[in-house]
Amino acid sequence: MDAPRLSSTPLPGIGVRYDLTTHEHRHLSVVAHRDGERTLSAYRKDDPDDCALSVRLTAEEAATLIDALLPAPHLPNLLSTTELGLVAERIELSGNSHWNGRLLGETRIRTTTGASIVAVLRRTEAISSPTPDFRLAGGDTLIVIGTREGVEAAAAILGRE
């Protein structure tokens, strides 16, 4: 069985679209809007470019659906960010980003937005708790956590080219 293929595409001013091709060669996509809402779309098997279903979900509805899709029960020591009024978002740095090659501390994300960059995904590596002297690179995916407003402000700063 082929491994599922997931790709992401930044949608400036909107959020990020995630596309999944299943082992049955079905195309599904989720648009993660900056306001926390999600749009789930399923495409026809005989024409993967023809959307057969599209559903807009509130952040709470998306969290409920995620709970239903998880294979294991929640562990009581794990915090749910939505219950705490926080959001976590993946933000990808483009190759021509202003921050490409610069130090994480230079972004002043935590100071100016209150949001925190808790991890950086680079190729096949995950760097947890990057320090201010961590050097950013185009193609990095930053995991940012904070209030909705803080994460949106961080995304605007990180989107600078």
User: What is this structure's pTM?
Assistant: 0.55
Domain covering 87-158: architecture: 2-Layer Sandwich (3.30)
Q: What's the pLDDT score for residue 136?
A: 96
How far apart CA 160 and CA 105 sit, in angstroms, is 15
Which pLDDT score is estimated for 113?
A: 95
Q: What is the pLDDT of residue 12?
A: 83
The pLDDT score that the predictor gives to residue 81 is 62
Q: Which stretches of the chain score pLDDT less than 70?
A: 1-4, 71-83
Does the CA dihedral 16-22-28-32 come out positive or negative? negative
pLDDT of residue 68: 75
* Helix, strand, coil fractions of the chain, as percent rounded to 5: 20, 35, 45
pLDDT in the model for residue 89: 86
